[in-house]
C-alpha cells in the first residue's frame, strides 16, 4: 500500500473509538510473538509536560550514543512523527509497509480487534526492535493504568504534572486522575514524579509504597534552578549530583520542571544499566526540539504556537505571556478547542492577555462551535483558519504577536500553513 492509502485505512480504525484496557494489547503482543523484554523501556505519563519530558530524555540518550526510539502522540502533521529513531521520524515507505502488515494481521478472524492507538503502539515498538534500538521512550497516550503502553515492562517510570483533563475517561478529581497515572508504577521500578499537587502526590506515593517502587519527588529529591533572567540556563539538583548549567531551548518557566523530571530520570539510568554521562545530558537538553510548545515563528507579525489544550496548559501560556510582556505590542489570539474541554475556564485565563480574540474551531465533530465559545466569552468568529490567519495579521499589525492555542489540531493546521508543510488528514477522534 502507498502511504496515503495506508494512513486512510489506519485512521479508519478510529471508528472503534477509545477503548481503555491493556488486555487487548497484551494479546496483540502475544499474537505477534513480540519479546517485550528485547529492550529497556522508559514510560512517561502525566497531564501536561509528558511529551517535552519524553523528548528531552530521548535526546540525551541519543547524545550518549544509544540508538533510541521515541513514541509520542498525537502527531502535528504526519503520522510518522509518532515514531522516531535517534530523533528522526521513520520514513513514509516504512510506515506504509508496517501499517499494511499490521492491518492484514489483525484483520484475521482469530486476531485481537485492536484500536488505532494499540496498532500505532505495536508499529512503534516493532520498528524500534527492527532498527536495533538499545532503549525506547514511550509517552502514555491516555491515563496510564489502562493505556496500551502499560502492557510493556518499564525500566523507569516518570509522572509529570497532573491536572484536570480527559475527565470522562480518567475521573473528575485530581486524586482519581492521579490513580490512573500511578497505574504505570511497576513493582520495584523507580518512579520520578513532577507533580506538586498534594492530593495527587498522596495517591502516587501510596501506589509506590504498595509496589515497593523507589519514589523521587520534585522539590524534595530533585529540582531545577534558573541561572539566568531569561530562564534559558538551569542547574538541576538530583540525588546523583548537580547537573548544569544546562541550556534549555524550550520556552516557558513550566519547562524548568519538565527539565528537572527529565534530568532526574537520566541521572537514575546508570544504576539501572543504561549509562548516561553529564555531558550527554547537557548536550541532549540543549539539542531538544519539541514543536508547537511555545514555538515562535518569526514574521511581521510574529506567531507563537502553543498546544495548550486544557486549563492547566492555558495557565502556563498566560504566565509566559505575562512574563514576556515588554514593549507594547498588539496581541491577537486564534482559539479553537474540543467541546469536552473546560473552555470557559481556558478563555477566562487567556482572554485578558489579548487585545483581540478570534474563534476558529477545527473541522471535526468534537470541536466546540463558535456559538458555544461565544457564550463563554464574546469574540469574533471566523469561518476557517485561513481567514483567521488573515484577520489576525491585520489586527496585530507588523509589530504585533499572533498566538494560536486551545487545540493541537488548530495549532497544527496554522503551523503547516505558515511553514508550508505537508499534513496527513485530521484524526477525527
pLDDT, mean of each 10-residue run, the chain (429 residues):
94 86 96 96 96 98 98 96 98 98 97 96 98 98 95 98 86 94 98 97 98 98 86 93 95 95 98 98 97 96 96 94 80 96 96 97 90 96 95 97 96 96 79
State the first-to-last Cα distance of the chain, in angstroms, to the nearest integer.
24
Q: Which grid coordinates belong to 125? A: 515498538
Q: What is the pTM of this model?
A: 0.95
* Alpha carbon separation from 238 to 54, 210, 218, 299 (Å, rounded): 18, 24, 9, 40
pLDDT of residue 230: 66
* φ, ψ for residue 313, nearest 5 deg: -65, -40
Alpha carbons 76 and 424: distance in angstroms, whole number: 9
Q: In the CATH scheme, what architecture does the domain 295-419 have?
A: Alpha-Beta Complex (3.90)
Domain 3-287 sits in CATH 3.40.1190.10: yes
* Alpha carbon separation from 372 to 4, 122, 317, 379, 381 (Å, rounded): 34, 38, 22, 11, 11
Tabulate helix, strand, coil % of the chain (nearest 5). Answer: 45, 15, 40
Q: Which grid coordinates belong to 297? A: 515563528
pLDDT of residue 325: 66
pLDDT of residue 327: 61
**DSSP 8-state assignment for residue 350:** H
pLDDT of residue 14: 84
- Domain boundaries of the chain, sorted by first residue: 3-287, 295-419
Identify the residue whose cell numbers are 461565544.
Answer: 374
Which residues lie below 8 Å from residue 254, measured CB to CB, with a gap of 6+? 48, 49, 161, 316, 319, 320
pLDDT of residue 324: 78
Alpha carbons 27 and 47: distance in angstroms, whole number: 27
HEC profile of 29-88: HHHCCCCCCCCCEEEEECCECHHHHHHHHHHHHHHHCCCEEEECCCCCCCHHHHEEECCE
Q: Which grid coordinates belong to 218? A: 520534585
pLDDT of residue 166: 82
Find the farthest-apart pair of alpha carbons in the chain and give their distance in angstroms, rounded.
65
pLDDT of residue 167: 79
pLDDT of residue 219: 97
Amino acid at each position: 500500500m502507498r502511504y496515503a492509502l495506508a494512513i486512510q485505512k489506519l485512521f479508519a480504525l478510529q471508528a472503534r473509538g477509545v477503548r481503555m484496557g491493556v488486555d487487548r494489547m497484551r494479546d496483540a503482543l502475544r499474537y505477534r510473538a513480540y519479546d517485550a523484554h528485547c529492550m529497556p523501556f522508559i514510560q512517561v505519563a502525566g497531564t501536561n509536560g509528558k511529551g517535552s519530558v519524553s523528548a528531552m530524555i530521548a535526546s540525551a540518550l541519543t547524545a550518549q550514543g544509544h540508538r533510541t526510539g521515541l513514541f509520542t502522540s498525537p502527531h502535528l502533521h504526519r503520522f510518522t512523527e509518532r515514531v522516531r529513531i535517534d530523533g528522526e521520524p521513520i520514513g513514509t515507505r516504512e510506515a506504509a509497509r508496517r501499517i499494511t502488515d499490521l492491518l492484514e494481521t489483525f484483520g484475521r478472524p482469530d486476531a485481537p480487534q485492536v484500536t488505532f492507538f494499540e496498532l500505532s503502539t505495536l508499529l512503534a515498538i516493532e520498528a524500534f526492535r527492527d532498527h536495533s534500538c538499545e532503549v525506547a521512550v514511550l509517552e502514555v497516550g491516555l491515563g496510564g493504568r489502562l493505556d496500551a503502553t502499560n502492557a510493556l515492562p518499564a525500566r523507569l517510570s516518570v509522572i509529570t504534572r497532573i491536572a484536570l483533563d480527559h475527565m470522562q475517561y480518567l475521573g473528575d478529581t485530581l486524586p482519581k486522575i492521579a490513580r490512573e497515572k500511578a497505574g504505570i508504577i511497576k513493582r520495584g521500578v523507580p518512579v520520578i514524579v513532577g507533580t506538586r499537587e498534594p492530593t495527587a502526590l498522596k495517591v502516587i506515593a501510596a501506589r509506590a509504597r504498595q509496589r515497593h517502587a523507589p519514589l523521587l519527588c520534585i522539590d524534595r529529591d530533585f529540582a531545577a534552578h534558573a541561572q539566568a533572567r531569561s530562564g534559558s540556563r538551569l542547574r538541576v539538583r538530583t540525588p546523583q549530583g548537580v547537573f548544569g548549567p544546562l541550556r534549555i531551548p524550550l520556552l516557558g518557566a513550566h519547562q524548568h520542571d519538565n527539565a528537572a523530571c527529565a534530568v532526574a530520570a537520566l541521572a537514575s539510568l546508570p544504576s539501572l544499566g543504561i549509562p548516561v554521562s553529564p555531558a550527554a545530558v547537557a548536550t541532549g537538553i540543549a539539542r531538544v526540539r519539541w514543536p508547537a510548545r511555545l514555538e515562535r515563528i518569526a514574521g511581521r507579525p510574529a506567531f507563537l504556537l502553543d498546544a495548550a489544550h486544557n486549563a492547566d496548559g492555558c495557565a502556563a501560556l498566560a504566565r509566559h505571556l505575562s512574563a514576556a510582556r515588554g514593549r507594547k505590542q498588539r496581541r491577537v489570539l486564534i482559539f479553537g478547542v474540543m467541546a469536552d474541554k473546560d473552555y470557559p475556564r481556558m478563555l477566562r485565563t487567556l482572554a485578558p492577555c489579548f487585545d483581540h480574540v478570534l474563534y476558529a474551531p477545527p473541522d471535526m465533530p468534537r470541536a466546540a462551535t463558535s456559538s458555544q465559545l461565544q457564550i463563554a466569552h464574546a469574540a469574533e468568529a471566523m469561518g476557517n483558519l485561513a481567514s483567521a490567519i488573515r484577520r489576525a495579521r491585520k489586527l496585530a499589525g507588523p509589530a504585533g504577536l499572533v498566538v494560536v492555542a486551545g487545540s493541537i489540531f488548530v495549532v497544527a493546521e496554522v503551523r503547516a500553513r505558515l511553514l508550508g508543510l505537508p499534513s496527513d488528514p485530521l484524526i477525527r477522534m
